[in-house]
């Protein structure tokens, strides 16, 4: 059993002048802090769709790349104004970077601790940035000034906004927090998925480092209880993630609910151990919020009833996906690649999945992104060891363009789409590539 010391989360604020975020209201009372253009969160939006409303170009070209000085583990994010953000694990210097899209010029950078590599910066409509490091969640202005820093237990993975405009995230050690994005103050008390030691046990409990198990998050093994970004239903407040509990044999798919208002709370909904071998990928929601999709570690894609946790269907994709799937509004699902992963698409037909097309001739070494206009992008093997970005038709799987990532090897860790259709993909060894 893991033991942790319950630590009070202390919020440390910097007294700087920052413009208040003017959230856009809607008829149902929701506050929209996600930019309508760009790629503001790790998987693009609250439901982790890995899609963009921008009509993607079918004739992109390599524009620029920037070495980051260390490994990258998460996507780049893009604000509505085109400013991009990415993190890396470096020995010296910066590990949070901001670049201008047009030129690739570094706008600013910051030195945080090693846990920042696990987090994609989340961007709001005012281009304020929210990013975690080991032991804290932080917010910066568009120009890189620190707005606030809130201490937490563990390392925050990439965060999401809630329907009432607050910031929700889960650390790899299983602590759930909801913060006010303007001040960093806690909206509700921290929720610990793994109960902390009792008062009697506290004096003898081992202090768990905030960066413990981060290296295991990529595989979703027991050392990293929560390995991914939650998918959030902005209408109901429910959020979905995977959790490897202390007595579990693999990671379960879990549903919980955040309720705002005068008496905000976090409550449990359901959990299921239906995913064989567990999973390390972030779950994603269907457009209507009725189905949760996730890949397991045994080569299958699963669809689960978002209300009950009951299995709708599973589909053997033939390989262990190393990332989250891209799920369009109409239910076209394109899984991420892996060591032996090819490119394919299935469609949710309610009680089963139907193969739409399959490209076994392509070794997919990236994460797919879909855009409007039936256009998709992902990274595949080129030649013996190289990598290239392919542009493909999402209805047929046909390749319509292919462009080399100059000097890239290994694999890439995400594909993001800019407000003008730019395509960004960082390599795991630490270089950001941009195509226009």
182-195 tens-digit pLDDT: 999 999 999 999 98
Please write the tens of the pLDDT for every residue from 337-380: 987 899 999 999 999 999 999 999 999 999 999 999 999 999 99
* Predicted local confidence at residue 17, as pLDDT: 34
Please report the pLDDT score of residue 360 as a whole number. Answer: 96
- List pLDDT tens digits, range 392-403: 999 999 999 999
Mean pLDDT for 278-300 is 92
Distance separating alpha carbons of residues 245 and 42, to the nearest angstrom: 24
Q: How many angstroms separate the Cα of 316 from the Cα of each of 279, 297, 300?
A: 14, 11, 4
Task: Report the 3 state secondary structure along 42-61.
Answer: CCCCCCCCCEEEEECCCCCC
pLDDT tens per residue, range 202-260: 666 677 899 999 988 887 888 999 999 999 999 999 999 999 999 888 899 999 999 99
Q: Is the pLDDT of residue 6 over 70?
A: no
Residue 198: pLDDT band with limits 50, 70, 90: low
Closest CA to 176 of 132, 142, 124: 132
Question: Rounded to two decimals, what is the model's pTM?
Answer: 0.91
Cα(339)–Cα(350) distance, integer angstroms:
30
Give, in order, the Cα–Cα distances in Å from 350 to each of 37, 331, 346.
Answer: 30, 10, 12
Tell me phi and psi for residue 80, to 5 degrees: -65, -25
Under DSSP, is residue 371 helix (H, G, I), strand (E, B) or coil? strand
**What confidence tens digit (pLDDT) does each residue in 83-94 have?**
999 999 998 889
Over the chain, what is the mean pLDDT?
Answer: 91
Say which CATH topology domain 36-435 has. Answer: Methylamine Dehydrogenase; Chain H (2.130.10)
| pLDDT over 80 at 70, yes or no | yes
Mean pLDDT to the nearest integer, 51-60: 97
* Confidence bin at 67 (pLDDT 50/70/90): very high
Query: How many other CB atoms sit within 10 Å of the CB of residue 268?
Result: 11
Under 8 Å between Cβ of 129 and 140: yes
The CA dihedral of 409, 412, 418, 420, to the nearest 10 degrees, is 40
pLDDT at 117: 95
Q: What is the pLDDT of residue 276?
A: 85
Sequence-distant (6+) residues with CB within 8 A of 262 are none
Q: What is the mean pLDDT of residues 1-16?
A: 36
């Amino acid at each position: 059993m893991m033991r942790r010391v319950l630590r009070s989360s202390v919020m440390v604020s910097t007294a700087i002048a920052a413009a208040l975020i003017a959230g856009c209201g809607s008829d149902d009372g929701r506050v929209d802090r996600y930019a309508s253009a760009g790629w503001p969160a790790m998987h693009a939006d609250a439901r982790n769709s890995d899609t963009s409303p921008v009509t993607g170009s079918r004739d992109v070209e390599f524009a620029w790349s920037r070495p980051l000085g260390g490994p990258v583990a998460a996507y780049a994010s893009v604000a509505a104004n085109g400013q991009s953000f990415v993190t890396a694990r470096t020995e010296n210097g910066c590990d949070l970077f901001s670049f201008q899209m047009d030129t690739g010029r570094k706008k600013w950078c910051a030195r945080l601790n090693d846990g920042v590599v696990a987090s994609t910066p989340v961007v709001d409509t005012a281009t304020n940035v929210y990013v975690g490091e080991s032991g804290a969640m932080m917010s910066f202005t568009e120009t890189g000034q620190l707005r606030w820093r809130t201490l937490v237990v563990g390392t925050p993975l990439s965060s999401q906004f809630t329907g009432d405009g607050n910031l929700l995230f889960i650390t790899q050690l299983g602590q759930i927090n909801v913060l006010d994005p303007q001040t960093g103050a806690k909206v509700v008390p921290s929720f610990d998925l793994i109960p902390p030691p009792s008062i009697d046990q506290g004096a003898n409990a081992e202090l768990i480092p905030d960066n413990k198990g981060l290296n295991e998050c990529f595989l979703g093994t027991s050392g990293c209880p929560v390995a991914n970004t939650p998918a959030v239903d902005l209408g109901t407040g429910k959020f979905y993630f995977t959790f490897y509990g202390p007595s579990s044999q693999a990671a379960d798919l879990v549903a919980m609910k955040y309720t705002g208002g005068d008496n905000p709370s976090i409550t449990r909904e359901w959990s299921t151990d239906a995913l064989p071998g567990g999973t390390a990928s972030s779950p994603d929601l269907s457009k209507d919020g009725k189905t949760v999709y996730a890949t397991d570690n045994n080569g299958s894609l699963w669809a689960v009833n978002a209300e009950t946790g009951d299995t709708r269907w599973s589909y053997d994709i033939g390989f262990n996906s190393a990332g989250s799937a891209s799920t369009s509004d109409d239910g076209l699902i394109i899984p991420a690649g892996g060591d032996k992963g090819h490119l394919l698409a299935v469609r949710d037909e309610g009680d089963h999945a139907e193969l739409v097309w399959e490209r076994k001739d392509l070794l997919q070494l990236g994460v797919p992104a879909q855009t409007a206009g039936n256009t998709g992008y992902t990274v595949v093997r080129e030649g013996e060891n190289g990598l290239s970005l392919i542009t493909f038709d999402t209805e047929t799987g046909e390749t319509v363009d292919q462009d080399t990532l100059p000097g890239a090897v290994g694999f890439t860790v995400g594909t993001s789409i800019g407000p003008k259709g730019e395509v960004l993909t960082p390599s795991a060894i630490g270089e950001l590539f941009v195509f226009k």
